[in-house]
Amino acid sequence: MMIAVPGVLTPEQVTAMRATLDATDWIDGNETSGPQSALAKRNRQLPEDGVVAQRLGGEVLDALGRSALFIAAALPAKVFPPLFNRYGEGDTFGTHVDNAIRMKRGTDFRLRSDLSATLFLSDPDSYDGGELVVEDTLGTHQVKLAAGDLVLYPASSLHHVTPVTRGERVASFFWIQSMVRDDGERRLLFELDGAVQAVSADRGGEDRAVIQLTGVYHNLLRRWAEV
């Protein structure tokens, strides 16, 4: 399941974050690449253990915790501390699949990467190219969202970033271990949750059908979740 989550960051938060990022030193993006990705990746990245990355990553995590849509879609058990990358003219990231297990250097933190996330931090009109292209069973999807918006997609999918031909593409990226590992089960829960919210808005939260549907949702979550 691939889903856009609009407005994770407000325009004011994006502006403040970009001011910090634009004044920060960046390193070769292959500092965090696996062997396969290193062959395809050409961009810059903030050092993941740096003060700036940790502070801004904390702000992103706080924003995710306030996003009901993100929580409903991802059902997060763990979120990898957000990283930040920058694509200038000519930079690109060829077709690859993300590592199944992500580990934070120097710690015992690790997670299974069920979902990948890109949080866009550049106005789409400020750069050409730089689309995130995700391949799934329904075809190929190009994604280029407004600054502050996020896209979630299965970490198991093939994906790439097209070359930037003008301007700069700045983003935060990270991975999520979901309480529900299976993408199909997670999609059913997300769709059921949306239906429950719609019926509740129409009939009220005390309606018997709403209560029954809510029970079905939680019983499926209880059956499928790993916590």
Q: Same structural domain for residues 86 and 134?
A: yes
Is the pLDDT at 36 greater than 70, yes or no?
no
Domain count, the chain: 2
The answer to whether 164 touches 90, Cβ cutoff 8 Å, is: yes
Containing domain of residue 193, as a range? 183-224
pLDDT at residue number 40: 77
pLDDT in tens, 129-178: 999 999 988 889 999 999 999 999 999 999 999 999 999 999 999 999 99
- Whether 162 and 93 have beta carbons less than 8 Å apart is answered as no
* pLDDT tens string 56-85: 999 999 999 999 999 999 999 999 999 999
Same domain, 200 and 120: no
Looking at the fold, whether 38 and 79 belong to one and the same domain comes out as yes
Written as one letter, the residue type at 188 is L
The pLDDT value recorded for residue 31 is 66
Three-state DSSP at 220 gives helix
197 shares a domain with 147: no
Q: Are 80 and 101 in contact (CB under 8 A)?
A: no
Mean pLDDT to the nearest integer, 73-100 = 97
Same domain, 109 and 201: no
Burial class (CB in 10 A: 0-12, 13-18, 19+), 17: buried
Do 200 and 162 reside in the same domain of the chain? no
Q: Are residues 212 and 171 in the same domain?
A: no
Instruction: Output the six-digit token pair for 220.
Output: 């499926």
pTM over 0.85: yes
Same domain? For 112 and 84 the reply is: yes
pLDDT at 32: 58
What is the CA angle 94-23-159, rounded to 5? 15
- Same-domain check for residues 125 and 187: no
The pLDDT value recorded for residue 38 is: 58
CATH classification at residue 99: 2.60.120.620
- The verdict on 129 and 190 lying in the same domain is no
